[in-house]
Structure 1
Amino acid sequence: MALMKSAQMKMAASCIGMVAMTAMAPPLAAQDIPAGHPTFEKDGTVHVPAFALPLSAFMSKEAGDMLKARAGMPPFAMPENLDIAIVRKGMEMVLSPSVKAMQSRYPADVANETIAGVPTRIVTPKGRKAVPNRVLINLHGGGFSMCADACAILESLPIAAVGGYKVISVNYRQGPEHRFPAATEDVTAVYRALLKQYKPGQIGIYGCSAGGALSAQVAAWLPQHNLPQPGAIGIFGSGAVRFANSDSNYIAAYIDGAFPPPPAPGKSPTPLMKTMMSYFEGANPNDPMVSPAGHLDVLAKFPPTLVITGTRAPDLSPAVYTHSQLIKAGVPGDLIVGEGLGHCYIYSADMPEAQDAYAAIVKFFQKNLH
C-alpha cells in the first residue's frame, strides 16, 4: 500500500512538473506545431484543424439514420431581400414531412381560438379528456419571424398526446413586421386571460428555439408587471439569453450546419440571420427582459425551469449558461442534453431521444404544476 501511494505521489509530481514546464515554455513557432493540432492566438482565438466527426456511440440508430440521410443534401441558404411571406411558406414546406410524422404518431384535436385578441391554437388529446385544472401555453419556434403553423404543431401535439394536457399555442406577433416586446405582450395577454380560469400554479409555459427564449422573457416580464409566475416553464432549443459569440454558435455551424457561424468582425450577418434578428432591432441585447440569464436578481424570481438542448446544437452554450445561472439564483430545474443531436431535436417524432424528451417534459410539468 505504501509503495502504491509513493508511486501515485511521484506520478502526480511528474504531471505538475510537466504543466509548469508547459506554462513557462516560449510559444512554439507555427512550423514546430504538429499537423492536426489546434493553434492558439494570444487573444485566445483557436485555429481548429479540419477533422472528421463520426456518429456518437451513444446516439440511437434512428438519430444516426437522420444524420446519414443528410448526405448529399444542399445547404440551406436564403437570398437577399426575399419576401418574408415566401420565407414563411418555404419553412412550412420544409417541415411538412415532420408535421405529418408527428400527427401520425401523436394524434390530437386542434382548434383555432382567439384569446384576449391574440390568435391561438387549442390542442387537446384525441379520444380522451384533458387533465383537469391544468393547462400549458406553447410558444412556437421560428426565429421570432416564422413557423407559426408547423412549429406550433410539432411542439404541442406530443405533449398533449403523451401528457393528456390541454395545450394553447400562441401565435404571437413576430418580426420583421413587429418589434420586441410585442411577442411578450401577446403571451402576457393570453396568460392574464387564463388566470381568470386557472390558478398560476396550474399553468405551465414552454417553447422551442425562439419560443424557448420567449418563455424565459415572459418569466422575466411577469413580475415586472405585477403578475404571478406560472407553475413552471420550459426553455427548449434555446437559453434565457440572446445568441452571442459562444462556443456552440461556432462549433454547431461546422458540425451541424443548420445555422451559419457568427459573422466575422466588420461583416454583415447572413440574410437568414438578419430576418431572425429583425424582431430585436433597437433592443438592448443585455436588457433583463431580453436576456434574463445575465441578471441573477431577475432569474431568482423564475419558477422551476426545464432546459433542453443537444451537443451539436448552436443553443448548447446559451442553454448550459442559463442552467448554471439558474443554479446560482437558487431556481430548481433540470437540464437535458441530447448526445449528438442538433437544434430542437424534439421535432423528430420517431427518434427515441425525442420521445424520451416528451416523457421528461410531461413528468416535469406533472411534478411542478399544482
Structure 2
Amino acid sequence: MVLAIVAQVLYSTGIYDSWRDSRSVDRACGGMLAQGELDTALESSELRAKSLELDDGYLAHCLVLRADSGRNGSLEMSLRWSSTKPSALETFPRSFDITNGVRGQAAPLGKGWPGIVRNGEFPGVQIALDCHNDRNKALVAYGSFAPPGGAPSGSAADLAGLGRVTAETAQKAAAKHGCQASGGERLTDVTLPPYGPKPDPTKPLDQSQGSCAALRGLAPTATQNGVPQAMEFPADAQAPQVNCYLATSSQKPGYGLFAFYGASAKAVRAGGVPSSLKTPDEPRDYAWATAKCPQSTEPADFLITRLTEVNGNGVTYPVPHYSPDFANTALKAFVDNEAKQRGCTDVRMTAEP
C-alpha cells in the first residue's frame, strides 16, 4: 500500500515525468549530446529527447523538445563521419541549387571553429573536426532548430546556444570515438548569413575586406562585366565553406564564388556536379578549380558560376552575358588567396570537381 501511495504521488506531482524526460536527454544521441547549453538554446530547463532514424553510417541522430506544453522550441542533432553521405537536413540549405541568387550561403562560425552557420528554413550550424590521428576522417556535427517547435524566439542567445551545443557535442563525440581533434574558443555569439531574398546593402568591390578581398584588384574589370559590388562574409581560414558574391549596381548577385574544404568538399563531390550547372540548353557558365590542403587528404574544390534570379517572369540572369575570361581570372584570384591563407598547393583549374 505504501508503494502504491508513493507511486501515485510521483505520477500526480509530475516528478516521474520530469525524471523520465531528464533520462531521455541523458541518453540523447547515444549519450553524446552536450547538455550544458540546451536550456539557453531552447529557452527552457524542461526538456525531453527522442532518437530519430539513423541514415546509413550515422553515429547518432536525435531531437530535443521543450517539455513545457504550449511553447515552441526543438533542436535536432546529427553526428557522422565525413565518409558518410550527408542527410537531407544537412544538405538542404545548400542543396546545390546554388545558382539561384544567394541560396546556399554560409557564414563562418568563428572563434577558431571549423564550422559554418546557415540560414535555411531554420538556422543550422555545421562543424567538421578533422582527426589529427587520421587525416582521412573528420567528425561532422550538424545542429539546427527544427520542426515541430523550431527556434524558440529567434534571439541572439538562442543562436549562440545552438552554436555551443553543436560545438561541444562535436568534441564529445570525437573524444568518444577516438578522433583527436582541435576545437575553438567559447562561442559567445553566432551571426547568421546576412543576405535574404530581398536586395541587401552591398559594398564596392574595391572596398572588400572579407571573403571577397582577393578580388579588390579586379574591381575595374568586374565593373566592366556588370558586377561592381560585393556581398561578402568575414574572412576565416577555419571555415569549411567560403562564399563571395559579386553583385550588380542594383544589388543583385550576379556571380558566386565558393570554396569547399575537407568534409564539405567530399560532400560536394559525392553529390556530383549540380544539376543546375548541367542544363542541356544553357551555355556552360561556370568554372572549377582544385587544390591540395594540409588539413585533410580531401582535395579542396572551388567554383565560380553565373547566378540566376527566379521571379514572376521565370528564370533570368542579373548578368546578361557570361564572360569566361573574367570568370577564370576571378576564380584564379579567389583560389590563390584561399590557398595562401590555408597553405594549399597544387592549384589546378579543371572542368569538373
TM-score band by shorter chain is under 0.3
Structure with greater contact order relative to length (CA < 8 Å, sep ≥ 6): 1
Structure with greater proportional helix content: 1
TM norm structure 1: 0.24
TM norm structure 2: 0.25
